[in-house]
Structure 1
Amino acid sequence: MKIERISKSTTMFTFDSIENYLTSVFLIEKKSKNYLIDTFCGPGSMEAIINQLNSKKETVVINTHFHWDHIWGNCSFKGSNIIGHRLCRKLSDELWEEQINKNTKYIDGKVEKLLPNITFEEKIIFEEDGIELFYSPGHTVDSISIFDREEKVLYVGDNLERPIVYVESEDVSTYVKTLENYLKYNAKKIVASHTSNLSEEDIFSTISYLKDLMEGKKVDFESEYTRTVHKQNMDMIYKN
């Protein structure tokens, strides 16, 4: 695991236990509360983070979406508030056993089901700390994003990724609207779960790619990885 300070308030913890796939969680330490964005693959993954926490402040856990590599460590924070979109709680619950069975080898520690206990539809703002959580469907139907108003850092979960995004919802037009909305935040820094340093250019290029998908345009990629992901995206959109 790599630990890196990415802003005055935020530490990024990056894990490499999933083959060829870096995954980061983010700890934002503010005046009122700590905010932990995602919990990776279990209690083992969370030990270093828990050791760093200021125990005098409340820790709020945020699940950006229901996927297993973002929620399995929730059980390290029993008694804490865990926030996600309403659909995140629903999908996490419905697909818990399926995700466990398919990805058992990545479990880190004794994983127990612990779902978001606070859910929302559109937006939650922690005014004292300037932390805004907002619904941003795209990669998945339940995706949310986080904006630190003080430092102007935008945390986008899996909605942005280089070299190519995964599309797991058929509603690609809404995905495009989410990315266009990101531009309104004028973020100084953009970070994602699997790509640590992004720019507005990445937003524009992803919008272009998604529009090409919707229009059925032929898109060529150089690597086997990007060709494979693109095929999966095409299959998702045109599966009917």
Structure 2
Amino acid sequence: MRRERVSEDIFIFTSELYAQVTASAILTPEGAIVIDTLPFPAESGEMAEFIHRRSPHGVRFVVNTHFHADHVYGNYFYPEAEIIGHRRCREMLLEFGEQQLETAKNETPGLEPVRLVPPEIVFANEMGLHLGNRSLRLMHLPGHTPDGIGLLVEGDKILFSGDAVMPLPYFVWGDRDSLKRTLKRIQDLAVENIVQGHGEILLRGEIPEILERHTQYLDCIYEQVQALIETRGSERELSRITIERCGESSIPLDGLVRQLHQGNLIKIYRELKAQQLAGAD
């Protein structure tokens, strides 16, 4: 696990075991706020130990940016904390989180110690959070998933975006149009830094160009898949639509973005084919 200090009291933890997923901690005189908790106990525990050493008053709040396993499986390391998330995050974890965890444990023995702890404090649109000398604005940022949220640190203008911003937009669990609106909203925030859900921290000078490129990518893949369907192309032919053709790189996340790209294409293809069949009826 890699640890990075971005200000006097803010630390970012990046997994070396899974897709460069990030988690963060904001330390205040009254306790810590933890943002996401990593998937694997080996790293989640190391992170929790570091935070507890640095925070004499413990961890007051854990915030989950969305329900995916790589962001919530370490929640149980903070029994003293109140866990915050979107209303849908809690609902989805209660609905099928335990079943998904059991499947994951069968496939990945390293997850055996994990206990699922869903958020207990939930909200729908926005929520303020104040602790010590810090004020945070929690906001709904859907698209990657329906329950996605971000946290804006007032003053410092640092946004913890969850997977609303990552090296490649990914919406297989969510909705492309919602993600486009979310990227526009983030652009309008004019933040200094974005802590992505995966990968490197984005700096002020690069943020507008990256968000614009992501938006263009979302438009491009839709247009490319639509054109394929109009020529009666099959789902297997989606491989011809490369990530580079739509302006993104295949290098980030050790090449994992190529799989994410294919997932996006398949989702669009199947949605458009379903609409086509419905129209035929």
- Tell me whether the two structures share a fold, i.e. TM-score over 0.5: yes
2:114 to 92, 111, 114: 111
Kindly indicate whether residue 76 of structure 2 is the aligned counterpart of residue 45 of structure 1.
Answer: no
- What whole-Å deviation, never above 9, does each CA across 1:176-211 have from its counterpart, x for those lacking one? 111101112211111112122222221111111112
Code of the aligned partner of 2:242 = D
Q: Does 1:211 align with 2:213?
A: no
Q: How does 1:1-240 map to 2 (within 5 A)?
A: 1-18=1-18, 21-51=19-49, 52-53=51-52, 54-104=55-105, 105=108, 107-108=110-111, 110-127=113-130, 129-162=134-167, 164-169=168-173, 171-198=175-202, 199-216=207-224, 219-222=241-244, 223=250, 225-239=256-270, 240=274
Query: For residues 217 and 86 of structure 2, what CA distance do their matches in structure 1 show?
Result: 26
Q: What CA distance in whole angstroms lies between the structure 1 residues aligned with 2:109 and 2:170?
A: 20
Q: Which moved more, 1:49-58 or 1:29-38?
A: 49-58
CA-to-aligned-CA distance 1:60-115 (integer Å, 9 cap, x gap): 10101111111111111124210000000111122223432443317446111211
Unaligned 5+ segments in structure 2 are 228-240, 245-249, 275-281
Q: Would the aligned equivalents of 1:41 and 1:106 in 2 still touch at CA under 8 Å?
A: no
Letter in 2 for 1:173: D
Equivalent residue letter for 1:146: L
For residue 263 of structure 2, what is the amino acid of its counterpart? Q
- Runs of 5+ unmatched residues, structure 1: none
3-state DSSP of counterpart to 2:145: coil
The offset of 1:146, in angstroms, is 0.7
- The 1:132–1:109 alpha-carbon spacing in structure 2 relative to 1, beyond 3 Å, is farther
In angstroms, what is the RMSD of aligned CA positions?
A: 2.2
Which residue identity does 1:205 align to in structure 2?
R
Q: 1:138–1:174: 8 Å Cα contact kept in structure 2? A: yes
Percent identity between the two aligned chains: 27
Using the size of structure 1 for normalisation, the TM-score is 0.88
2:15 match: secondary structure:
strand
The change in CA–CA distance for 1:171 and 1:41 in structure 2 (over 3 A counts) is: closer
Contact 1:42 1:72 in 2 (8 A): yes
Bigger share in helix: 2
Please list the CA deviations of residues 140-167 of structure 1 after superposition, one character each: whole Å capped at 9, or x if unmatched.
Answer: 11100011112111111111222x2221
Q: Which amino acid aligns with 2:127?
A: I
1:26-82 alpha-carbon deviations (Å, 9 max, x no partner): 011134441111111254433333333313254210101111111111111124210
- SS of 2:84's equivalent in the other structure is strand
Q: Secondary structure at the match of 1:133?
A: strand
| Structure 1 residues 215 and 32, CA gap change in structure 2 (3 angstroms) | farther
AA aligned to 2:140 is: Y
> Do the aligned partners of 1:42 and 1:76 also contact (CA within 8 Å) in 2?
no
Contact 1:17 1:106 in 2 (8 A): no
Q: Partner amino acid for 2:120?
A: N
Distance 2:129 2:21 in 1: 26
Please give the alpha-carbon distance, in whole angstroms, between the structure 1 residues aligned to 2:118 and 2:259. 32
